[in-house]
Amino acid sequence: MRKVFITLLFTMLPVVYGLSLDTLYTNPNYPPIVYSKTEYKFYKYTAKYIPENLFHAFKILGSNDSHIIERFKRRPVEAVINKGIYYPSSRLRKEFCLEGYSDFVIGFHKMGIYYPKAMETFILLSFHQYLNQDKIEWSHNKSLSLEGQNKSNRFWKKRKRKLFKRGDVRIKDPKRKNKKKKSESPSQNPDPRNFEEYEGK
C-alpha cells in the first residue's frame, strides 16, 4: 500500500504544479525523451544552450517542430552527414557552442574528436539512430564523423594545445610598429583556476 501511495504521489506532483510531462520520443534501448511544458518551451525558444551530455542534446534537438524531426528521421545516413537537421548546418554548431571549450566539448576531445563539424555529425548520427529505434553505434558514428576530416581534426587539436597549456591561456598581443608593448594589468588575464580541467593535457 505504501509503495502504491509513493508511486501515485510522484505521478501526480507534476500535474499539481502545472508541470505535466509529455513523452515525445522513445527508443527501447535508452530512456525516453520527456519534457515538462516549461522545459519544452525553454529548449524550443532559447537561441543558445550548451548541452550537459549527449542525451541532453537529444532533448534540445527534440524540441524542434515535428515536421523538422520527421524530415530528419526519414533522411538516409548520407543526407544526415551532408545536410544535418537544419540548413545551413552551422546553426547547430553555433547554438551548442561546439567551437568553444565547454565540458560538453571536452567530452568529444576525450573521444579524439576536435573538429566542431565532426562533433555535429556525431550528435546528429546518434540522434538519427535514436529516433529510428536503433542502437547508437558509437564507434561507427565516430568513424563516419571523422571520415575525410582528419586534417581539420588535427588543426583543431593543435589549436587547443596552442591556446591552453598547463592551465594558462596563450593570448598573443597584436604587434605594434615603433611602439612598446603595454604591460597587461592582472585583471586582463583569465584566472588560471577557471582552467584547471586542462592541466596536464
13-33 pLDDT, tens digit per residue, is: 344 444 568 999 999 999 999
Sequence-distant (6+) residues with CB within 8 A of 146 are 112, 113, 115, 118, 153
Q: What is the pTM of this model?
A: 0.72
Phi, psi of 169 (to 5 degrees): -105, 130
pLDDT tens-digit series, residues 33-82: 999 988 888 888 887 789 999 999 999 999 999 999 999 999 999 999 99
Mean pLDDT is lowest, of 79-93, 118-132, 187-201, for 187-201
